[in-house]
Each structure stands twice: as structure tokens, then as C-alpha cells.
Structure 1
Amino acid sequence: MHANTPAAPTWRSHWALALAALAYVCNYVDRLLMSILIEPVKAEFGVSDTEIGLLSGLVFGLFYSLAGLPLGRLADRVGPVPVIAGSAIAFSGITMLCGLAGSFGALLAARIGVAIAEAGGMAPSVALISQLYPARQRSRALAAFMMGPSLGAIVGLAAGGWVAHHYGWRMAFILVGAPGVLIGALMWLTVNNRKPEVQAAAQQEGWGASLSAIVRTAGFRWILASVALAAISGYAVGTWNPSFLIRSHDLTMQEAGLLAGLGGGLMSFAGTIACGWATDRLVRRDAGWQIGTALLGTAASVPFALGYFLWPAGTLVQLGSLAIPEAFVLYLGFAFFGVWWSVPCIGAVSHLFPAGRVAQATSVLAGVMTLCGIGAGPLIAGSLSDAFAATQGAEALRYALASSVSLLALTCCTLALALPRYRRARTSLQTSLQGC
């Protein structure tokens, strides 16, 4: 257990967790909003799928990763609350500016600003949760926090698609970006900040030495590899799924946003909660289940993912004017199990490192996840779509996404390699902390 971690959380713990989770929801709303706006942005600025993949992917991921390391180290030194709150206010304000972009270059510059600001969200929040919740309850607390992507998909895709359909893509950026400013201000004013207890030697430790020690930790590199592979698949689907429904299943932008956001978001929400609950219960028997639950869930997601993208077009049921595709049933299964890698892998960081390194270690993981996921996932899928277009025509995106989700099979392999190493490293850390 980390120093000063309470034996039982209080209402103040839950309030802080709620605000951090809401800030993370806004983080993902602002991040995912671009995916439902791909088609109107392409039409206005006349850009290709590869250029859209660059905008929503590589450029965003690169700047997020570069900013995450210093912001994570800052949170380990000054405390997580001001970093989380300042991040929420900044990325929400810059998202609103995206709606004023007069050119593709201006939109690209604004998205770089969003990426830098969002880098101060996840890693300090994991450090805050590690301060507030004991190890036996931490996976459930992290699951509540990690509902951000699921709820962000519901709001960003469903609400964003509705606003864009009725008022245009620029107004979608402006309206969806606004709530995060209020949430950041509330956190700044109402949540008590606590600096982690850092040993004197660690205080004097240089940036390079600290980072080297984190990366050398047994099992951490295999967790990083697992997160990288899973994120490439996850972000490729998250970015391009609405366009896939539009192109291959003849849905409108509003209908695609509703299905991908509401249907997929609710199932991801349920999967996140189920994963957190299962992980906390199973870890009581064996610490290795922190990685084992991620392995089982990811393995279960693969057939659902491939089936969804390769299933031919066809209507399952007609709800008014909305024709729900047959393949969408498979997407719901993928949405449930496809998130099972995230909570256990992120939670593993809080068990592998002492309090003064949690935010920095999480920022390394978040940087890899973002650079490979947001940075490479949409770009790889977009480039494959352009490459397949010569032979597959309008169905090119279908095969590009099926290729992208195939990487989840490799994720299962790296998780299997991480499991025994993680178990040994956790035991070693607990032994060293007891000896202090």
C-alpha cells in the first residue's frame, strides 16, 4: 500500500474520483469528437483519409506523448490535483477553438494544443486514485475512472453527431468543449491536493535516471507492448467506425454516431465495470489476475471484432427510419470485451511503483498508448483504406479495420509474457516497502 493511502475511502475520496472521472469523460469527448466529424471536415477542406489519420492520429499522439512525461513528473512533485484541473480547463477551451478553424492547417494546430493539454489528465488521475483508495479497492475505483472512454463515446459520437447534423461540425466543437472548463474549475476549488511522499534520494534523482528505473522494472516493458498493440486496434476502430457504418452499411452521420456512440459506449461502460469488479475479486486469490483478466477479455474480443468488420451488409431490425445492421450485434460483444485490457494494465502501474513514481510511470504508459494508439491506429487504418481502395472500392475501410483488429491476437501473446514477470515485480515491491 502506498504511504498515506487510507484504509477506507471517504466521501471526499468519492467526490475527487467523480470529478477526475468527469474530466476524463470530457477528455475523451473532445478526443473522439473528431471521428464523427471526419466526413464533413473532409468535404470542407478537401483532404484524404491519410491526412485525416494524420490529424486525428500521429500528430495528436506525438504531442500528447511528449507532453505527458513532464506533466507526469510535475504531478509526482507538486501533487496531482492542479495538473488535472489545469489540463481540463485548457483542453476544453482549445477544443472550442477548433470550431473557429478557417483551414486544415489551423485545425491541425488547434488539435496539437488539445493533445498537449490532455496529456495532464490520465497519469495524474491514476496517481490521485492511488492516494485515495487502498489496493484491494483500486481496480473498481480505476474502472469508475476509466468509464471516460465509454461515456466519452456516448457523448462525443452520439451528441456530437446530432449537433453536427443540425448545426454543423464547427458548433459541435464549441458546444461539446464547454463543460470541461467548469469541471476543471470545480476540481481546482473543491479537491484537496496532497503531494506524494517522496524519499530524499528520489527527490534528487534526475529525469533520465528515474525514467530508466521505471522502464527497467520487470514486466513493465511487456505491459507497454500489450498496451501499444491493443491501443492501435482500439483507436483505429474508435476513429473510423462511424465512417465504416456510413460507407459499408449506408447509415447517415447521425445514425452512425448514435449506434457507435450509444450502443458501443453502453457496452464498453458495462465491460469496464465488469472488468474492474472481476479484477478486484480475482486478485485477492492471486496477484497475477491483474494481468490475467486483461488476457482473457482481449482473447474473447478477437472473434467479435473480426466478425463485425467482415460480416456482409444486411438489416437486422428496422427501428423507425434507423436500419440496424446485422453485424452490429457482433460490435456490441467487441465493445464489451475490447476494453478489458485497459483497467488491469493501468491499474498494474499503481501496484508496480512507489507513490512518488506512479504518475510518471503512468505517463510513460499513457504516452506509449497514445503514440501507438491515437498516433498510429487511425493513420494505419486510413492508409490501408487508401491502399485497398484500388481493389475494394467503397469496401476498402472494411478490410483496413479487419486488418487493424488482428493485432489483438498479438496483444494476447504479450500479456501472457507480462503475467509472470508482473507477479514477481509486485512481490518484490511489497517486500521492499515493508522493509522501509
Structure 2
Amino acid sequence: MRGLPGRDRPPLILDASGSAAHLVSRRRAWGTALAVVALAMTDYIDRQIVVSTFPYLKRAWGLPDTALGALVTIVSVTIALCALPAARLADRWGRVKTIAAMGSVWSLATLACAVCGNYAQLLGARALLGAGEAGYGPAGAALLSGYFPQRLRATVLSIFQAAGPLGSVLGVVLGGVMIGQFGWRVTLGAFGVPGLLLALLFLTVRDYRTPAVSDAGGTDAEGDTGERLTPDRAASRRPGPVATLRELFRPRTAVWCYLGGALNLVVLSTLYTWLPSYLSRTYGLSSAQAGAKASLFILAGFVGAIVFGHLADRLGDGCPRRRLTVPAVLAACALVLLFTAFAVLGPGAGQYALIVAAGLAVAAALGTAPAAVVDVVHPSMRATAVGMVTLVQNLFGLAVGPVFTGLLSDVFGLGTALAVMPLCCLAAAAAFRHGSRSYEKDLAAVSGGGPAVTPPGSQVRELSQ
């Protein structure tokens, strides 16, 4: 494969076999991954820390559980609505610029949460927070997908996605500690400034050039004669909205991963949001104690996302379909563990142990599902593809769990709601199983120059594989 000429394009590093390994040195690639994860952690701290304020907001403003759940759901709804436009912006404007801009927006929204005077204002500030977060996931995943080879993609994106559970742990634990010392306002806005600084510092990270769709005989970002395309000319060769949607839904694997990932996140978001309240109400714990115990479940998700993402890469090395068999099996395990914990066992050490064990399993798809989607779409649309993952998973997963559980809790009680919601894991397992059956074919179509988003007679040259 030809290298990447030009001052603004990092050199292509080859492994011992001569195949493309990294777009930059391994040290720089992993350093960039660390920066992406660090900023993502502030994202999830800001998103999750509100859970610790639920008892205080309930007393201060007389809010029902449905309204409290909506403070989490609204973030997911705005992320879903803004995900595709923000992802398209990342593919066209650049991943690094998009990350810096989005990080700044959600950090400023976090600061605004601290000065809200009523529920409507807080709901609006949380919506703005979600709008800022919408472009970060697609841009960050696309940047890492370009910096690392395909054989490491599920591992790297699982590490990236594991920033969610780790940031959520910090949000729940620090929120539970801080709220007793400083009150809910300072707690909600505390991490806005660190996030803003990290977002601006991210401008020092080096981006890579987006591969462009070229005419027959052309190349990805330059013509046959070596003439460099201007951004306007390169953008004009990219597919329009209809062709983009066609490519995003062309691979059957991608469709099943959209669905499976969303169903899995219904359960994950439910537990991230309501487990502290359940422990507080059922076990008689303080906010700090409930947050500490809930954090172990979330931390288990952090470990599970990385371990099972790497396992999916290892098992999928010789047989690609196994990469999706891993989240399918683990989703089924999560159903058994959680249903037993909430529907069969009562409060106690046994129930808590099963809940924590389920935390390992329910997070297995966090990085594996988007990695599989990235694998089966054209490289020029990686951020847009992750944007579609973000849209579907937030609108039909993260947005559903908290508010629907709150609704069930208001009618039947929180324990019953937490026993019912894990049934979504069964549907997620079926979706990943179906996706594994078409994965090898869809992967071969992209790797071998199969269907792409080009006009008849045109060619696409990938940035890297």
C-alpha cells in the first residue's frame, strides 16, 4: 500500500510483514488513545454525576422518578439527534477540530448546570450537554480507527468505550462524596473546567487526512498526477446524504450491530442510573455508600469492556464471525445473572455479587459492536458510521432505559422495574448472533473492494486497512 504523502499527513508505519499497522508510530498512536480516553472520562463524569443528586433534587423540587430519569434520558436524546450531523462534520471538517469544539460545548453546559434555578432550566442545560457530547464519540472513534490497524480495532475501541464505565464510576463516587460536602450545584459543575482545558489542549493532537472518493483513475486525496485536492474539491467527491445512508445500512452486520448495541445499552443505562437509588432505598445506605457500592458494578463494566473486547479480537483473528459471538454469549449471561438477582433473590450479599458479575458481561459489546460497524463500511465514512451507532444506541438504548425504568418504578416499584429491564439482553444476544452470520461476507466486501459509495465507474482507495 502506498504511503501518505504531504506535510499534514503522518507517515504509514508497516509491521514486520509489510502490511499497514499504524498511521503514526505506536508511541504516538497510544498517546493519542490516552488523550481521547481522558477527555471521554470527563464526558461521562459530567453525564453521570447527576445521578448522585437525585435524592437532593427529589426533596428540593418534589420530583417523581420519571422526571429524575428524564435528566439522564435527555442527554441521550440530544446526542441521538445531533450525532449524524456532528459525525458528518468530523468527516468533513476534521476529527481533532470536532473533538475540541464538542468538548468545549459540553464543558460549558456542565458549568451552566450549576446555576440552574428550576427543573426546566436544568433539563435544558443537560440537553445542551448532550448536544456537545454528540460529536465526540464518532470523531474519537474515527481518529483511533485511522491510527490503529483493523486487527486491533475492537481492542482499541473497547478501551475508548471503557472510558464510559470508568468516568461513570468517578461520577457516581465523587458525586456521592462531594454532594455532602459542597451541595448539588457545585457537584454538578465541578468537572466543567477540567473538561474545557482538556478539550482545548486536544488541538495539539495531529489529525489525518480523510480519504476522498475519486473519479476513475484517481486516488484518495490526490489525482493521478499528484495534484493535491483542495478541501472543497475533496468534499465534492464525497457521497451525498442518500448515498451515505445507503452505505451505512448496506451491510447487514452493521444493522444488527446497531440494534444489538442499543438493546444492550437499555440495560446498562438502566443500572448506571438507578442502581445507586435502589441500593439506597433497599439497603438503607447513604448517598456516598450507595454510590460506592454501585461503582463496583460500573467498574466491572470497565474491566469487562476491555477484556471481552480484546477477547473478541483474539477469537476473531482466525474466524471473524467469532468477534460478534462474544457479545452475543455475554448478553445472554447478563440476562441470567440480572434476572436472578432482582427477580429471584432479595437484598443481600448474593444479590449484590450477581449484580457485580453482570457488570462484566453487560459491557462486553461497548467497543465490539461499533468496531464491527467500522469494519464493514468504507474508511471515508468511519466517523459517520460511528455517528449512526451513536444515534441508534442513544435514541433506542440510553434514552429508553432511565426514563422507562423510572416509569415502571412509579407504578410497580424500582425492584420490579430492575427485574424486567434485563429481558432486553435476550434480544441483544439474538441481534449479535444474526450479525455474526453476515460479518465475514460484509468484511470481505470492504477489504476486497466490494460495494462502496462511489458512482458507477469510480474507484475508492482506502487510507489504511
In structure 2, what residue type is equivalent to 1:22? A
139-148 vs 199-208, greater mean Cα deviation: 199-208
Q: CA deviation at 1:185?
A: 1.5
1:244 aligned onto 2:278: yes
1:16-31 equivalent positions in 2, closer than 5 A: 16-31=32-47
Match of 2:406 in 1: 382
In structure 2, what residue type is equivalent to 1:381? T
* Residues in 1 aligned to 2:356 and 2:48: alpha-carbon distance in whole angstroms: 18
Q: Is the 8 A contact 1:72 1:362 kept in 2?
A: yes
Report SS of the residue matched to 2:190.
helix
Match of 1:391 in 2: none
Q: Is the 8 A contact 1:77 1:195 kept in 2?
A: no
1:140 aligned onto 2:174: no
* Residues in 2 aligned to 1:151 and 1:61: alpha-carbon distance in whole angstroms: 18
Which structure 1 segments of 5+ residues have no match? 317-325, 389-395
Instruction: Classify 1:174/1:219 alpha carbon distance in 2 versus 1 (closer, same or farther; 3 Å).
Output: same
Q: CA deviation at 1:61?
A: 2.3
1:104 aligned onto 2:119: yes
Q: CA deviation at 1:62?
A: 2.2
Which structure 2 segments of 5+ residues have no match? 5-11, 14-20, 216-235, 451-458
1:124 aligned onto 2:158: no
Q: CA deviation at 1:204?
A: 4.3
Q: CA deviation at 1:312?
A: 4.7
Match of 2:52 in 1: 36
Match of 1:61 in 2: 76
Q: Is the 8 A contact 1:3 1:197 kept in 2?
A: no
What RMSD, in angstroms, separates the aligned Cα atoms of the two structures? 2.0
Report SS of the residue matched to 2:449.
helix
Report SS of the residue matched to 2:252.
coil
Match of 1:392 in 2: none
Equivalent of 2:437, from 420, 424, 428?
Answer: 420
Report SS of the residue matched to 1:353.
coil
Q: Is the 8 A contact 1:304 1:333 kept in 2?
A: yes
1:152 aligned onto 2:152: no
Q: Is the 8 A contact 1:290 1:345 kept in 2?
A: no
Q: Is the 8 A contact 1:73 1:359 kept in 2?
A: yes
In structure 2, what residue type is equivalent to 1:257? G
169-178 vs 379-388, greater mean Cα deviation: 169-178
Q: Is the 8 A contact 1:160 1:176 kept in 2?
A: no
Match of 1:409 in 2: 426
1:198 aligned onto 2:212: yes
Q: CA deviation at 1:313?
A: 4.6
In structure 1, what residue type is equivalent to 2:237? Q
250-259 vs 175-184, greater mean Cα deviation: 175-184
Q: Is the 8 A contact 1:99 1:171 kept in 2?
A: yes
* Residues in 2 aligned to 1:69 and 1:26: alpha-carbon distance in whole angstroms: 22
* Residues in 2 aligned to 1:36 and 1:203: alpha-carbon distance in whole angstroms: 48
Q: Is the 8 A contact 2:262 2:393 kept in 1?
A: yes
Instruction: Classify 1:410/1:81 alpha carbon distance in 2 versus 1 (closer, same or farther; 3 Å).
Output: same
Query: Which TM-score applies when normalising by structure 1?
Result: 0.91
Match of 1:274 in 2: 307
Query: Which has more radius of gyration?
Result: 2
* Residues in 2 aligned to 1:203 and 1:307: alpha-carbon distance in whole angstroms: 54
Equivalent of 1:368, from 392, 408, 412?
Answer: 392
Q: CA deviation at 1:230?
A: 1.0
Query: Which TM-score applies when normalising by structure 2?
Result: 0.85
Instruction: Classify 1:13/1:204 alpha carbon distance in 2 versus 1 (closer, same or farther; 3 Å).
Output: closer
Q: CA deviation at 1:89?
A: 1.8
* Residues in 2 aligned to 1:363 and 1:231: alpha-carbon distance in whole angstroms: 16
1:308 aligned onto 2:322: no
Q: Is the 8 A contact 1:301 1:337 kept in 2?
A: yes
In structure 2, what residue type is equivalent to 1:72? A
1:250-265 equivalent positions in 2, closer than 5 A: 250-261=284-295, 263-265=296-298
* Residues in 2 aligned to 1:208 and 1:61: alpha-carbon distance in whole angstroms: 25
Match of 1:397 in 2: 414
Structure with the largest fraction of helix: 1
196-205 vs 298-307, greater mean Cα deviation: 196-205
172-181 vs 201-210, greater mean Cα deviation: 201-210
Q: Is the 8 A contact 2:41 2:164 kept in 1?
A: yes
Total equivalences in the alignment: 417
Report SS of the residue matched to 1:147.
helix
